[in-house]
A and B are shown apart, each in its own frame.
Chain A
């Protein structure tokens, strides 16, 4: 055996260090992060201050895009309000439904695993074009929903997606229907609550409702917190259902922020304006996330804190 020279010895001891192995392991992710996230991210920050139509080079325009957004563009505010309304209605309903279904499915019966899968399937297919088109068919004037309503003698000629009063609600219903992933997380958390708490409460004479509000719900608050943040971010970024089903119509009542941004960037080729909108949305999402985090100390219960 040859004696190790200085360099290979150094290399060897460098490779032996725990950190290096770790960094090398995460290198693929880091490269991906830089190439596919960081570079586009900062490029879009630059583009937000330019006029860029893709075909020719971006022109620096300072704050013009933001000025136009806030002061001149009515549709910008319309889309902002629609998205806000959408998030405000969909998130609470979706989380409530997810929690209730999780409660029901937390009991072990023979069919439970079947139902768990059945309720999760809509979430798996959630983002897909097929589901969006299915929804469009279901709620079309001659669709299944109207046929069922007609069967029970109810008004059966509503154009659910064409009526400004019902269109957003129809899309929210689609979103709520896809409660599966939140439900699974709730389900796991419910299973994690020590049975001894419930047994102690039963001994003390607490009924199921009391046990839900005094044991299950407080124990679930960290998970509710987690799901809430996830769903709020998801709702602000909503795109598919509006883009595929209504295209923002009727009367812009379903014009999500994301859809308007896309129209500006990819139909009218105002990439600079689209980037400015994207950055404003990032700030809005950051603001609400921070708000929820701030409020969490008031309502989220962590067992380890011993309160």
Chain B
């Protein structure tokens, strides 16, 4: 009897021990547990042993967001990178866009920021302010990060207060994706730089012929408002983001009115009437066009299997400036607390300047920033790739694009949600006095921005 109890206690103790160690190795990164085995050989000399694998390689954590197309290409590219840099072992991690913005902050908060990670232009300022990224100027100065073939404007787009924190992967522009197969069937030609009324006329014709409806004019999102404001030389926020960048409610009212008209006339999609569960599906099931970025053309064609093409974002009929801008598609950044910054910079340099990288990824992360790589990659592209490069070239002509706005302030998502709240009420007919509602939104948004100071 007593022996049994002792035995049981010991068994339980062993269970506890195994659970405890199990937890331990799961909680720490794989690096730490493998590092422990190498530590026994020369524990005293290796300061950054946590980032060294069992066979003495430097371990580099890389995190990105993207579609299936990107995951496959990036994985191949990173394998190539490891072949050329046998002393580095890359640990890859990726996610879709939505998941990324909960995954990355969680890792930052947990002190596990990946050594290299993708960053979006809109969120750049926020992350720099919070000290998440390492400045890269020293690496540019000592030549380990070669940006000599990169335009100054591109370098500036990743710089804040004169310090470089982020290296663009490529240049792209917002675009209107559309179903070329449908327009071809209807014998409609989409102008490369459409006005809003040219665009809406086509949208009406497509609706009459196919029943597919418009989601661009009805979305009434912050991005839509931004495009509209840019048409008149303004921006969503003022220069230091202490207030909205406009004080006339007219622009919001016009946006809402167009959405209401489209709903009343039938060619605009009502809220909640979408059948698609993914953005890709929406271009097959609900709509014939969609606002995206130029580098996403291939992914949309792959996912839908349809002949999708792209034109510039429609400009209002009396626009004085273009809504379109050229922007860094996304950035590579290095974590401020990374132990392996040298390896991290080597990867970014590889991505910026190595032909073997572009043999694999092509222009999936947009048109390369280095002029040399642009020339290298151009002849290797397929039809779709060429179309993307030509599009960026087209927008790069004088007066086609207007200057890039500052990165969005941290409060952007709250303001964007607020606008959606108002827009939904307008679209459901709960709000009928549009100018008053627009003014209310502006007052509330300005209060939010002021409180952030």
Interface residues of A (CB under 8 A from B): 12, 15-16, 18, 20-21, 24-25, 27-28, 31, 35, 53-56, 75, 133, 136-137, 140-143, 159, 161-164, 167, 246, 249-252, 263, 266-269
Contact = CB atoms under 8 A, between A and B. Distances in A.
A141 B275 contact: yes
B277 interface: yes
Nearest to A271: B109
Interface string B102-143: 100110110000000000000000110011100000000000
A55 B428 CA distance: 37
Contacts of A167: 272
Interface stretch (B15-23, B40-48, B339-347): B15-23
Interface in B87-108: 101-102, 105-106, 108
A142 B212 CA distance: 13
B271 interface: yes
B5 interface: yes
B424 interface: yes
Contacts of A268: 413-414, 417
A157 B425 CA distance: 21
Given A12-B6, A21-B9, A249-B271, A53 B424 contact: no
Interface string B241-274: 0000000000000000000000000000011111
Nearest to A157: B273
B179 to A, nearest CB: 18
30 contacts: A12-B6, A15-B5, A16-B5, A21-B12, A24-B9, A24-B16, A25-B8, A27-B16, A28-B15, A28-B16, A31-B20, A53-B130, A55-B126, A55-B127, A56-B130, A140-B274, A141-B273, A141-B275, A159-B272, A159-B273, A162-B270, A164-B428, A249-B272, A250-B272, A250-B424, A251-B424, A252-B421, A252-B424, A268-B413, A268-B414
Nearest to B410: A53
Given A20-B9, A27-B16, A55 B273 contact: no
B430 interface: yes
B191 interface: no
B334 to A, nearest CB: 16
Contacts of A159: 270, 272-273
B173 to A, nearest CB: 26
Interface residues of B, number: 39
B300 to A, nearest CB: 21
Contacts of A162: 270-273
Contacts of B15: 28
A143 B16 contact: no
Contact of B275 (A20, A137, A163): A137
Nearest to A25: B12
Contacts of B233: none
Contact of A163 (B8, B13, B272): B272
A21 B8 contact: yes
A55 B105 contact: yes
A54 B6 contact: no
A54 B105 contact: yes
A267 B417 CA distance: 10
Contacts of A143: 275
B260 to A, nearest CB: 15
B23 A35 contact: yes
A146 to B, nearest CB: 11
* A-B pairs, 6 with minimum CB distance: A162-B272, A55-B130, A24-B12, A140-B275, A54-B105, A56-B130
